[in-house]
Structure formats: structure tokens, C-alpha cells
Amino acid sequence: MRKFSKRSLNNLEGVHPKLRAVVEAALQKSEVDFTVVEGLRTYERQVQLKKDGFSKTLKSYHLKQSDGYGHAVDLYPYYNGSVQVEPDKEKWLMINKAMMECAEELGVNLTWGGNWKSIVDQPHYQIEFNQKIEL
């Protein structure tokens, strides 16, 4: 049974419990280990990411939403003893497969940034826009 590092657990703090449950289940199901690089983020960090060109919006799902939780996480493969920022596409697809299967099992509709057209963001998962989710 895989376990998240202390860093990943800290990065899951403030993430919506349903999304957190998907991430935790996917860690067990995924064919490749992964780490949580970012969950809930501050508005100041979002402003900096936009300024630096890493984000196109100040309305990120990583920010605290109306229910008090962040609705997005960034996941990276972990193998060969470190976080793999530029892994081969197969590794992203392994994580995505586990995330989407677990999301379906837990009744959470997710959007994967790897499917986006304007800016492909393979590490990014967010609760689907306008989905009402109960705790």
C-alpha cells in the first residue's frame, strides 16, 4: 500500500474532501507513484503564477472556493527517486486513468488539464465546473 509523503499530505490540506478522497484512492490504483505538488493556493501565489506566465487566470480552482475548499490539485509522477516534472506521456496517462476511475467510483466529476486545448496542463485536476458536491 502506497502512502503520501508528509509534503503531499500538507499539499492536500484545504482541498475539498471529495477531491482528496479521489486522489488518495488513485494513489493505490495508479500504475505509477505520484506526488501532490499543489492543492489550495493563496491569491498572492496565483497572482505571481499569472505574472510569470504559468497561469492564464486569477480565478483558479486552486483558490478557496465558496465552500471554503480548493477544488484543484497538481499531481506529478514520482519515480527514480524524485518528482518527474517532464515524464513521458505514458506516466501522465497512468495517473489520469487511476484518477478518472476513482472519480467515477466516488461520484466526483473531474476535469483533467491534459485534455485542454488552449493550454495543456497535465498535472492539473479540478472538480468539474458548476458541479454541486456534498460533503
Whether the pLDDT of residue 102 is over 80: the answer is yes
Question: Mean per-residue pLDDT for 112-133?
Answer: 83
C-alpha cell at 134: 456534498
C-alpha cell at 95: 495517473
**Can you give the pLDDT at residue 109?**
94
Whether the pLDDT of residue 135 is over 80: the answer is no
Q: How many CB atoms sit inside 10 A of residue 29's CB?
A: 15
Whether the pLDDT of residue 133 is over 70: the answer is no
Question: Mean per-residue pLDDT for 27-52?
Answer: 96
**Can you give the pLDDT at residue 120?**
85
Give alpha helix (H) positions in 1-135.
6-12, 17-29, 43-51, 89-106
Whether the pLDDT of residue 108 is over 60: the answer is yes
Whether the pLDDT of residue 4 is over 80: the answer is yes
Whether the pLDDT of residue 114 is over 60: the answer is yes
> Quick check: 41 and 10 in contact, CB under 8 A?
no
Whether the pLDDT of residue 99 is over 70: the answer is yes
Compute and round to an integer the Cα radius of gyration of the chain: 14
Classify residue 97 by burial, with Cβ atoms within 10 Å: 0-12, 13-18, 19+.
middle
How confident is the model over 19-32, as pLDDT tens digits? Answer: 999 999 999 999 99
How confident is the model over 50-74, as pLDDT tens digits? Answer: 999 989 899 999 999 999 999 999 9
